[in-house]
Structure 1
Amino acid sequence: MASNPEILARFIDECWNARNKSIANELLAPDYEHYMPGVEQPTVGPASYQQLVDSFIEGFPDIRFEVEDAFGEGERVCLTWTASGTHKGVFSGLPPTNRSVVIHGVAVARIIDGRIVRIVSMFDNASFTNQLNAPPEKAAESWKATARSAG
């Protein structure tokens, strides 16, 4: 049986890099919650999380996540990652800029009986929007719109 850090790393790789749409239903608990910077309410459930992923893939069709480290004890897991991609599609109302972005982040998760019940993602949202050259107010609104459409 895989360890909890291995489960989280597998989820990130299969969901984001392999574009495996069934992995959310397999590894996320039915009442899964995902928290992101700048978004007041969590994304709840596997289907909503997949919508969030799909919106990023629409805007950044070449997006890839590299898991740098995954560790934890018991139910708690921490994962560090780097995501990179090119803004070639509409992302939450922002037209394509063809700019490349690199985002560094941390995910803190709770995993019970092989299912991910919660992830809190932390990344530098300001750096992300600066790389897109988006006005801060437009970027903040786009994040909220992305989360609302996924929730």
Structure 2
Amino acid sequence: MTIPLSTPQSNIALMRTAFAAFGRKDADVVVDLMPPDFLINIAGVPYQKKGTATWRKHAALIFSAFPDLQVRIEEIFAAEDKVAVRLRITGTHAGEFLGIQPTGRKVDYESTEIYRIADGKIAEEWICSDMLTLMAQIGGQGLSMGKLASMWLAGYRAWFALGLGVVLGALGTALASF
């Protein structure tokens, strides 16, 4: 039996089908779109995870923690065997998540994900979710949106100070040569 080659368009259609099923919390449909040796790469996790059983366990954790989870594809594009997806994820923190008890708080964050398609199946994923924003929204690890904003602004202050120092140094050098 010859397996037809996938195209970027067919790979995008496959991922849209998977995300629609995920949005319905239909893990069985998603798992049917994966080979048994599915590979999972998550930003910040120092090792690769494997298998549809592991994926199913992660999905159950998300569905339990955020039972009203909504996943919206903001952008999706493909090249060769890869599909890139930028998602907006919303929901309510109504179950334990990463050791944090339910807070009832609303979450709204982004995730950037890349998928590799092989033989018409979703063979591998690379997930890079904005966990800092998510954890700040549910109040994890002493984070708050105010603290997150402060950290963001502190980064700009450092760049501003560096730029000001460079400009003043150049100006001082130019004036000294007169």
Match of 1:21 in 2: 27
- Aligned CA RMSD, in angstroms, stands at 1.8
- Give the structure 1 partner of residue 130 of structure 2: 124
Richer in strand (by share): 1
Amino acid at match of 1:71: F
CA–CA separation in structure 1 for the residues paired with 2:31 and 2:95: 26
More off after superposition, 30-39 vs 82-91: 30-39
**What 5-or-longer segments of structure 2 have no aligned partner?**
1-5, 144-178
- How many Å apart are 1:136 and its aligned residue? 6.1
Residue in structure 1 matching 2:19, options 12, 15, 21: 12
Residue aligning to 1:3: 10
1:112 counterpart residue number: 118
| Structure 1 alignment gaps of length 5 or more | 138-151
Equivalent position to 1:51, from 30, 53, 57: 57
Q: How many equivalent pairs are there?
A: 136
Spell out the pairing of 1:67-86 with structure 2 (5 A cutoff). Answer: 67-86=73-92
> Do structure 1's residue 100 and structure 2's residue 106 form an aligned pair?
yes
Identity %, equivalent residues: 24
2-side partners of 1:108 and 1:23: how far apart? 19
**TM-score scaled to structure 2, two decimals?**
0.71
Larger RCO of the pair (alpha carbons < 8 Å, separation 6+):
1
TM-score, normalised by the number of residues in structure 1 = 0.83
Change (3 A) 1:136 1:72: farther
Asked if the contact 2:115/2:123 (under 8 Å) is kept, the reply is yes
Deviation larger for 75-84 or 39-48:
39-48
SS at match of 1:85: strand
Shift of 1:59: 0.8
Do the aligned residues in 1 keep the contact of 2:27 with 2:59 (CA within 8 Å)?
A: no
Larger radius of gyration: 2
State the AA in 2 paired with 1:61: P
